[in-house]
A and B are shown apart, each in its own frame.
Chain A
């Protein structure tokens, strides 16, 4: 006879764990806070959001977002999405310790090996959005593609491909 299946957890319990994990990842990094970046979550899908701010300008004449800000926005979206995917199973099973996370015990983050950014259009003085796709994630290395847009989802203003070194699980 099959063991009885565990009933699904109440929605607020799982949501609380998912949101606490995401919050710890995003709020624990000073540079993400400095850029003013946020993340929106729909199930396991993340969208990076960069609200426009004067300090993000690189060309005051146009005006346009600084190329370095665009690169940083894509890189942060890649790292957070990668960490989030890496932690997902533990979040779902409840193995993750949200109390430690909330006390600032940040999980170890992937490290960027290299990232190549294509600038397709100038970044307008508008909010920007980005989503990352993990093309390969092995035990040690991961390859991630990120796309960023502003007003229209199918008119990208930048894209990037990066390689990352995954944190090694503590035995």
Chain B
């Protein structure tokens, strides 16, 4: 039987841009999600160092936060980003995949609040952190 995580994985991996970036959903709970994005030379922002562009990290964060909202029991339908702030703490190590973990920590009838962190293989030192607000849409 397909689990909720399997269905969510298929859904996330069917998003053209997430698919193009090789994103893979590795875990999903009730209001939490973890998505991995492999290192790829086409995502490089600084050719001298080979460091991934912040924009690609934004795409990962946005997808992961949206997945956390959709996985929340109080958010039955789809969702859209209202705002998302990203703090870049350090450059991700070239060659390593980046993993984002998001938690939807509060949901009202209309708004879901989310925070997320992203790390490479050095999981003690986050690469980036995000906080955002997302819409809550009723199931159709």
Q: Are A114 and B53 in contact (CB under 8 A)?
A: no
Q: How far is the CB of A81 from chain B (nearest CB, A)?
A: 15
Q: Are B83 and A111 in contact (CB under 8 A)?
A: no
Residues on the A chain within 8 Å of B18, using CB: 58, 66
Q: Are A72 and B87 in contact (CB under 8 A)?
A: no
Q: Are B55 and A76 in contact (CB under 8 A)?
A: yes
Interface residue ranges, B against A (CB under 8 Å): 14-18, 20, 41-48, 52-56, 58-63, 66, 78, 80-88, 91
Q: Are A68 and B83 in contact (CB under 8 A)?
A: no
Q: Are A71 and B86 in contact (CB under 8 A)?
A: yes
Interface flags, A116-145, vs B, CB<8A=1, else 0 = 111100100000000000000000000000
Total interface residues on A, using CB and 8 Å? Answer: 38
Residues on the B chain within 8 Å of A76, using CB: 53, 55
Distance of A76 Cα from B78 Cα, bound (Å):
28
From B15, B17, B52, B61, name the one whose CB has the most chain A CB atoms within 10 angstroms: B17
Interface residue ranges, A against B (CB under 8 Å): 28-35, 54-61, 66-69, 71-73, 75-76, 104, 106, 109, 111-119, 122
Chain B residue with minimal CB distance to A109?
Answer: B46
Distance of A125 Cα from B123 Cα, bound (Å):
37
Residues on the B chain within 8 Å of A104, using CB: 47
Residues on the A chain within 8 Å of B86, using CB: 71, 112, 114-116
Distance of A60 Cα from B91 Cα, bound (Å):
31
Given A60-B14, A75-B54, answer yes or no on A66-B59 (Cβ-Cβ < 8 Å).
Answer: yes
Q: What DSSP secondary structure best describes chain A's contact surface?
A: mixed
Q: What DSSP secondary structure best describes chain B's contact surface?
A: mixed
Distance of A66 Cα from B66 Cα, bound (Å):
11
Chain B residue with minimal CB distance to A34?
Answer: B42
Q: Are B16 and A68 in contact (CB under 8 A)?
A: no
Q: Are B17 and A68 in contact (CB under 8 A)?
A: yes
Q: How far is the CB of B50 from chain A (nearest CB, A)?
A: 9
Distance of A31 Cα from B46 Cα, bound (Å):
9
Distance of A109 Cα from B49 Cα, bound (Å):
12
Given A106-B48, A119-B81, A122-B80, answer yes or no on A29-B53 (Cβ-Cβ < 8 Å).
Answer: yes
Q: Are A72 and B15 in contact (CB under 8 A)?
A: no
Distance of A74 Cα from B8 Cα, bound (Å):
28
Residues on the B chain within 8 Å of A119, using CB: 80-84
Closest 7 CB pairs of A and B: A68-B59, A72-B55, A31-B53, A66-B17, A71-B58, A116-B85, A68-B62
Q: How far is the CB of B11 from chain A (nearest CB, A)?
A: 10
Q: Are A55 and B16 in contact (CB under 8 A)?
A: yes
Distance of A57 Cα from B58 Cα, bound (Å):
15
Q: Are B87 and A67 in contact (CB under 8 A)?
A: no
Residues on the B chain within 8 Å of A122, using CB: 80
Distance of A111 Cα from B57 Cα, bound (Å):
14
Q: How far is the CB of B78 from chain A (nearest CB, A)?
A: 8
Q: How far is the CB of B36 from chain A (nearest CB, A)?
A: 15
